């Protein structure tokens, strides 16, 4: 007998994207500020590699549009200067960014390929080497 408070499970109903205006705005925000933010957070947050891989997935034309929209939305939140928990608060500043990005990474995990991750690792190594010199 099912639990009386449990909701019945239903498969997700994904609607086709008919309005891409928010995607365009999010992509513009990400393209404008992503690399600067990624450099600033390098070594400070544990999800920089995942964020860079997500960027490569979002900019890959082979990635389905709803997944690109999800990733660009999460990455736009990451690059925003103002968010729910300001980034400058020690210990808490990136927790909201991490939660939003984790949700997007989970939704897109089958679309973030090894090629996207390899590009992310190459960028990280290049940036780490540049920081040392």
Question: What pLDDT, in 10s, does the model give residues 85-122?
Answer: 555 555 556 777 888 899 999 999 999 999 999 999 99
More confident residue, 108 or 25: 108
Of the CA atoms within 13 Å of residue 88, those in its CB half-sphere come to 2
Quote the CA–CA distance of 49 and 33 in Å, as a whole number: 16
Q: Would you state the pLDDT for residue 91?
A: 56
pLDDT digits (tens, 9 = 90+) for 28-60: 888 888 899 888 888 778 888 999 999 999 999
Binned at pLDDT 50, 70 and 90, residue 27 comes out as confident
| Structural domain spans, the chain | 23-132
* Burial profile 46-81: b = 16 or more Cβ within 10 angstroms, e = fewer: ebbbbbbbbbbbbbbeebeebbbbbbbbbbbbbbee
Measured between alpha carbons, how far is 34 from 16 in angstroms, rounded to an integer?
A: 27
pLDDT given for residue 122 in this prediction: 96
Q: Using the predicted structure, report yes or no on whether residue 13 has a pLDDT greater than 50.
A: no
């Amino acid at each position: 007998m099912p639990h009386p408070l449990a909701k019945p499970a239903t498969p997700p109903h994904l609607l086709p994207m008919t309005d891409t205006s928010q995607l365009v705005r999010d992509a513009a925000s990400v393209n404008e500020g992503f690399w600067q933010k990624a450099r600033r957070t390098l070594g400070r947050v544990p999800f920089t590699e995942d964020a860079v891989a997500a960027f490569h997935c979002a900019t890959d034309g082979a990635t389905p549009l709803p997944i690109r929209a999800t990733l660009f939305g999460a990455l736009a939140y990451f690059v925003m200067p103002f968010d729910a928990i300001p980034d400058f608060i020690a210990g808490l500043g990136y927790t909201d960014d991490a939660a939003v990005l984790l949700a997007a990474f989970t939704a897109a995990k089958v679309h973030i390929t090894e090629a996207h991750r390899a590009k992310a690792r190459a960028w990280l190594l290049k940036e780490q080497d540049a920081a040392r010199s």
